[in-house]
């Protein structure tokens, strides 16, 4: 088959250049989007009387047959099939004859590929929204089931204050909720039609682009043809979304890797998401989490690499943009698996509430000791120093903070009274954090309610 662009060329293309130039081995996965765009374009050409009704029907049926061959894994890729567009048009010609040559009237591969990518990514991104929402669902379910489990909260990886395990889980559920909303916003932002822009200057046959947009489910048309064929911001935004979502997954994976270690023992991963050592039979390695952590770097690398590709491109379309698809596909594939694995790890892991509770220590209530004096009317800046002095006294004596006597505490400030013993209660400390966003049971349950309300929305 003659190349779509080969009219002005007389010499043969170097076979190495043929392989270097072709993209069919990776853009073939857009076959359905390419067929959808072509079927809509057939209708638009018919409306302009460029195609007769009979020709339009022939092309539409031929395109559907091509699509069926792809879906049934019967499509045969041949030499000269540079990309999915060339392959589909070549096969269409074999099926319906010379009328296939009318399909490309007024259309360029530039606006065609831009349309295919938006159609493909729109469906792919919606699938990832579903998986992200399922990850939120699993995390919320787990948080509700284990609402009474307590553990140390950490800053700087040092034990800080007691919190609810559910509060910790929900901190990630909220991140993933934002990820889902962010991706939905990105879909809305790029869901505009490039088709009908030609190579760069527009369509000379005045095809009805608004009809095309409506037929293909776009919100509207891109109003500048130069932008339409060259804009890949939607790819960049998707790659950023994928990178940020993987960062959130990676951070949670890191927490669970630490919490599942022998030194902590807070959680244990299911065997289905762990592996052993080829040398040390006692080992149970959190490989699922380590892979998730590693794949975050992979996705970020795809994003940074693509941004370097587009940063210096002149207007409008340049062949460099062929590098847009593999990062997009790879990011999708990585997130497609990662979101599901993360959800399954969370759903199946075992929580050792006793180990978590045993890691709570009285020194984590030093802030509560300062707050006790605040309630007695002492300014916080003073109470902070007084509580610090109590911590130092306990450390020097090598005793727990809660074993200091009332006499010891009164030596630091006269406002201490017998009811100071009420401070040394982890549940009470946690439930004192009762403002919106706090770790108290009512506020954590409120978070669960709000996330469930969000999950019920379409």
85 a catalytic residue: no
Which H or E element spans position 134? helix 109-145
168, 339, 349, 411 from 138: Cα distances, Å: 14, 11, 12, 51
Catalytic residue among 98, 156, 278, 435: 156
Let me know if 195 is exposed, middle or buried by CB neighbors in 10 A (0-12, 13-18, 19+).
Answer: buried
- The segments of the chain whose pLDDT lies below 50 read 1, 5, 8-10
Catalytically annotated residue among 261, 277, 304, 315: 277
39-84: per-residue pLDDT in tens?
999 999 999 999 999 999 999 999 999 999 999 999 999 998 999 9
Closest C-alpha among 237, 191, 231 to residue 214? 191
Per residue in 386-418, pLDDT (tens digit) is 999 999 999 999 999 999 999 999 999 999 999
User: Whole-prediction pTM value?
Assistant: 0.93
Active site residue 166: no
Q: What is the pLDDT of residue 9?
A: 44
Predicted pLDDT of residue 5: 42
**Pick from 159, 143, 4, 151: which is nearest to 86 by CA?**
4
Domains in the chain, CATH or no CATH each: 12-105 (1.10.275.10), 110-207+220-358 (1.20.200.10), 362-456 (1.10.40.30)
Q: What is the pLDDT of residue 21?
A: 72
């Amino acid at each position: 088959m003659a190349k779509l662009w080969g009219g002005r060329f007389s010499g043969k293309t170097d076979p190495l250049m043929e392989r270097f130039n072709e993209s069919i081995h990776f853009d073939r996965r857009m076959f359905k989007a390419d067929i959808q765009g072509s079927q809509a374009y057939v209708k638009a050409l018919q409306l302009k009387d460029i195609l007769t009704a009979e020709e339009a029907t022939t092309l539409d049926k031929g395109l559907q047959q091509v699509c069926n061959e792809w879906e049934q894994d019967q499509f045969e890729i041949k030499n000269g099939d540079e990309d999915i567009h060339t392959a589909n048009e070549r096969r269409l010609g074999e099926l319906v004859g010379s009328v296939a040559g009318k399909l490309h009237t007024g259309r360029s591969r530039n606006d065609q590929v831009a349309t295919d990518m938006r159609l493909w990514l729109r469906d792919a991104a919606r699938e990832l929204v579903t998986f992200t929402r399922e990850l939120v669902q699993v995390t919320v379910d787990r948080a509700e089931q284990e609402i009474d489990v307590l553990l140390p909260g950490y800053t700087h990886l040092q034990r800080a204050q007691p919190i609810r395990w559910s509060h910790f889980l929900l901190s990630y559920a909220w991140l993933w909720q934002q990820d889902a909303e962010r991706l939905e916003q990105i879909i809305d932002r790029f869901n505009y039609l490039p088709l009908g822009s030609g190579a760069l200057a527009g369509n000379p046959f005045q095809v009805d682009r608004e009809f095309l947009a409506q037929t293909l489910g776009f919100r509207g048309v891109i109003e500048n043809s130069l932008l339409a064929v060259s804009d890949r911001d939607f790819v960049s935004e998707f790659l950023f979304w994928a990178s940020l979502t993987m960062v959130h997954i990676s951070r949670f994976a890191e927490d669970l890797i630490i919490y599942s270690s022998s030194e902590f023992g807070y959680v244990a991963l299911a065997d289905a998401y762990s592996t052993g050592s080829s040398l040390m039979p006692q080992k149970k390695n959190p490989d699922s989490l380590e892979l998730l952590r590693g794949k975050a770097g992979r996705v970020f690398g795809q994003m940074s690499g693509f941004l370097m590709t587009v940063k210096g491109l002149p207007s409008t379309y340049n062949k460099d943009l062929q590098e847009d698809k593999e990062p997009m596909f790879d990011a999708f594939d990585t997130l497609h698996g990662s979101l599901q694995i993360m959800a399954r790890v969370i759903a199946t892991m075992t929580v050792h509430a006793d180990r978590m509770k045993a890691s709570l220590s009285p020194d984590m209530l030093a802030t509560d000791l300062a707050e006790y004096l605040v309630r007695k009317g002492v300014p916080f800046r003073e109470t902070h120093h007084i509580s610090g002095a109590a911590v130092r006294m306990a450390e020097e004596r090598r005793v727990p903070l809660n074993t200091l006597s009332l006499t010891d505490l009164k030596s630091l400030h006269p406002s201490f009274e017998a009811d100071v013993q009420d401070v040394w209660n982890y549940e009470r400390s946690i439930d004192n954090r009762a403002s919106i966003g706090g770790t108290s049971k009512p506020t954590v349950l409120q978070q669960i309610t709000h996330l469930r309300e969000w999950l019920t929305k379409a």
